[in-house]
Amino acid sequence: MSRLIRKVSFQSPVIRHVRSVGSAPPTKKYTPRRALMYVPGNDERKVAKIPKLGADCICLDCEDGVSINKKLEARTNIRRILDERSVDFGQSECSVRVNSVESGLCEEDLKAVLGGNNLPMALHLPKVDEPDQLIWFAEKLNEFLLHQGKAVSPIGLIIFIESARALMRLPEICEQASLLRTMCPIIPEALVFGSDDFVADIGATRTPEARELLYARQKLVTVAKAFQLQAIDLVHIDYKDLEGLKVQSAEGARMGFTGKQVIHPGQVSVVQAAFAPSQDRIEWATQLIKEFREHEANGHGAFTFRGSMIDMPLVKQAQNIVDMKDKL
């Protein structure tokens, strides 16, 4: 059994439809997602390759990678993969992308994906344009998970930003997302920049240098980090151009993205290298955490480290780097 598929335990319904206000919000271990790879849920040939992909996050897709007349097949197959644990995800996170709230397909997707005893580690919700779509999503999630009396550990939520409207309303979308964990067993963890839908929506044309997307990418990184979310960068569609992929990945990492979408197995290792912390960063983080623990033991909060005042956010960043190093 893959260790990253959650096991649902049937218990008395201790988790209620709406968590009581005073209860602590759910927490979940940090999952680095340097390379987020799509595998169409209905494509048996590609599903069979999962054990060898090595991507940090495998996204079993019900959405854009699946044609309209294969939707039922995709969601049924994904449910079977979860139920039978027949596919070895190894170190990869097992996650599922459902169709968008607006598509009219999302409810059936959730019903299938959440209907069994094993749940994915994370759900991807594409084409989020309005905060209200997240409320609908949370209600559906509770409907399928909780009325059966299932007690689940929280599921990660990965939100796709793919339109002008979504980018414009991004702070409100993230504000609503941050409230979800009080409503249902969901923890928002990442924003994904759906660049090609975005480009179509604003009528732009992609260039190799992607100057036309600077505003969108940098706003997405900023808002993601303001809400402590991961930021996952655009797809490099020309999957044979590994040199271009390397350049684009490095730039994304410099901008503050934490990972990148990949569409071909050959892209995984290039992307992972670009989004892995360098030796310098690992040394910085390790030493910072060591000194933080010493200061904490002595009752000090903020302290100076290599000329910078260190407080909790920086300690958390350092911890993320060390966590990522530990996982690699």
Residues making up the chain, counted from first to last: 328
Answer yes or no whether residue 83 interacts with a second copy by CB under 8 A.
no
Residues forming a β-bridge with 61: 40, 97
**Site stretch for a second copy (CB under 8 A), options 16-24, 25-33, 147-155, 316-324:** 316-324
Distance in Å, CB of 123 to a second copy, minimum: 18
Q: Which residues contact 144 (CB under 8 A, 6 or more apart)?
A: 110, 111, 114, 115
**Site stretch for a second copy (CB under 8 A), options 7-15, 18-26, 47-55, 213-221:** 213-221
The answer to whether the annotation marks 162 as part of a ligand binding site is yes
The answer to whether the annotation marks 254 as part of a ligand binding site is no
Residues forming a β-bridge with 305: 308
Residue whose pair of structure tokens reads 């490099």 in the numeric block: 236
Q: C-alpha angle 273/276/282, rounded to 5°?
A: 135
Give CA–CA dist 294/184, Å, rounded: 37
In the list 205, 243, 279, 326, the residue contacting a second copy (rule: CB under 8 A) is 205
Copy the structure tokens of residue 303.
């302290």
Q: Catalytic residue at 323?
A: no
Coil, strand or helix at 225: helix
Give CA–CA dist 155/95, Å, rounded: 9
Give the DSSP letter of residue 159: E
In the list 1, 18, 48, 200, the residue contacting a second copy (rule: CB under 8 A) is 200
Binding flags for a second copy, 262-301, as an x/- string (CB under 8 A): -xx------------------------------xx--xxx
Please say which residue, 48 or 200, places its beta carbon nearer to a second copy. 200
Binding flags for a second copy, 99-138, as an x/- string (CB under 8 A): ---xxx----------------------------------
Question: Known binding site for Mg(2+): residues?
Answer: 162, 197
Q: Just list the catalytic residues.
A: 311
Question: Known binding site: residues?
Answer: 97, 162, 197
